[in-house]
Amino acid sequence: MPSVNPPHSLKLLFVSTPVGPLGSGLGGGVELTLRNIATELQRRGHHLTILAPEGSDLGDLPIAQIPGELQPTAQTQGRQTPVTLSAHSVLANLWEVARSRQSEFDLICNFAYDWLPFYLTPFFQRPIAHLVSMGSLSDVMDEIIERVAIAFPGSIGVHSRAQAATFSFGDRCRCLFNGFDFGAYEFCETPDHTLAWVGRISPEKGLEDAVAASQKSGIPLKIFGYLQDKDYWHEIRETYPDAAIAYCGFLETKQLQRELGRSRALLVTPRWVEAFGNVVVEALACGVPAIAYRRGGPAEIVSDGETGWLVEPDSVEGLVEAISQLDRLDRRTCRDRAEGQFSVSAMGDRMEKWFYDLLGA
Ligand code: HBI
């Protein structure tokens, strides 16, 4: 598709999450989100610059590599954890460059779930759109995001209504869902006899329930994703020594979708309110129905009985019952329905409108 010039093309600065180089898997869903949005907006004729930690790689997207110490991940901190910033912090370096270069751009989009970019917003001469990647995690983050939501109406973007609802100021958040390049996902009509689970292997993702359901249903489980918490993983292996499970590593999209597409269903077992659930759309794009706890973003992606089954949260029995009903779902419907709502062009429309609204404000 030729890149077309929109009514007026924008000069956009995207500032990455500081928890890891883009493309490493450390940045979780934000890596794919940033890549997809940047690629789609560039295709539409906007001019993109991306600031990201050294070692980032997003193919041919224009990245300025910023050095410095990575930021500890927010979801491993507690509600009262104070803000931390190490010496030579990559977060501080990212936002020093953003400050010094801001006049080159119409608008800045922040992808970090960190205190600093929100605190700095009123000191910038350019509007900052904040795409918040997770639900409420700490008091200090809630407070600073709310301060920006009030002072800069419409500048807080989230991925789902469930994520917005975790904040006391949820009604001030703009729901953008997410977007995926469906051309990068091959539809698989005939699966093999396996289930799949995809995500950072960490307690908030509830992998143990998927392992238990796999064992009870007698269908092997393939596990994909960054092995973040090794103790957690060993505990699961010790608890379910006879489970037919295979850890398949962290695969980048092209390889992941090839493996994922061959499974009969994706099990989605979050313990926390997942802001969105990128992997759910990735599975649907391959024709793989999703069996998900009725909790957080995945519950707004899965159409119960059409593109998967929604299950009572934390109910392994519920997962097992849904697995037994998989044959009632149509794999082609899974892809077609998801494409209409969550393609990169649907997301590009939402992002473009968000940016134009902020610039018009
Ligand atoms: N933690 N401090 C911090 N900053 C982030 O931007 C961040 C994070 N943890 C996870 C994360 N981003 C991404 O994995 C999101 O996709 C959830």
pTM listed for this prediction? 0.85
Which structural domain range is residue 119 located in? 11-179+343-360
Domain shared by 221 and 286, yes or no: yes
Domain shared by 69 and 23, yes or no: yes
For residue 113, the CA-to-ligand 1 centroid distance in Å is: 6
Domain shared by 208 and 326, yes or no: yes
Residue 93's closest CA among 119, 71, 126, 63?
71
For residue 147, the CA-to-ligand 1 centroid distance in Å is: 20
H or E element that contains 198? strand 195-198
In a domain, 5, yes or no: no
Per the CB < 8 A criterion, the answer to whether 220 and 194 are in contact is yes
Q: What are phi and psi of 93, to 5 degrees?
A: -65, -40
Q: What's 45's domain CATH number? A: 3.40.50.2000
Residue 337's closest CA among 296, 291, 288?
288
Ligand 1 site residues (CB inside 6 A) read 17-19, 27-30, 71, 73-75, 112-114, 133-134
- What's the total number of domains in the chain? 2
Per the CB < 8 A criterion, the answer to whether 110 and 18 are in contact is no
Domain shared by 212 and 126, yes or no: no
In a domain, 212, yes or no: yes
- Strands of the sheet containing 11-15, edge to edge, are 63-66, 47-53, 11-15, 107-110, 128-131, 156-158, 174-175
Domain shared by 226 and 290, yes or no: yes
In a domain, 3, yes or no: no
Domain shared by 166 and 205, yes or no: no
In a domain, 1, yes or no: no
Task: From first to last of the 361 residues of the chain, give the pLDDT tens digit.
Answer: 445 555 689 999 999 999 999 987 666 678 889 999 999 999 999 999 999 999 999 888 999 999 999 999 998 889 999 999 999 999 999 999 999 999 999 999 999 999 999 999 999 999 999 999 999 999 999 999 999 999 999 999 999 999 999 999 999 999 999 999 999 999 999 999 999 999 989 999 999 999 999 999 999 999 999 899 999 999 999 999 999 999 999 998 899 999 999 999 999 999 988 889 989 999 999 999 999 999 999 999 999 999 999 999 999 999 999 999 999 999 999 999 999 999 999 999 999 999 999 999 7
Domain shared by 274 and 315, yes or no: yes
In a domain, 150, yes or no: yes
Q: From CA 256, how far away is CA 198, in angstroms rounded?
A: 9
Domain shared by 106 and 154, yes or no: yes
In a domain, 4, yes or no: no
Domain shared by 218 and 234, yes or no: yes
Domain shared by 188 and 236, yes or no: yes
In a domain, 2, yes or no: no
The protein residue with its alpha carbon nearest to ligand 1, atom 9, reads 73
Domain shared by 292 and 356, yes or no: no
Domain shared by 168 and 190, yes or no: no
For residue 134, the CA-to-ligand 1 centroid distance in Å is: 7
Number of Cβ within 10 Å of residue 327's Cβ equals 7
The protein residue with its alpha carbon nearest to ligand 1, atom 4, reads 113
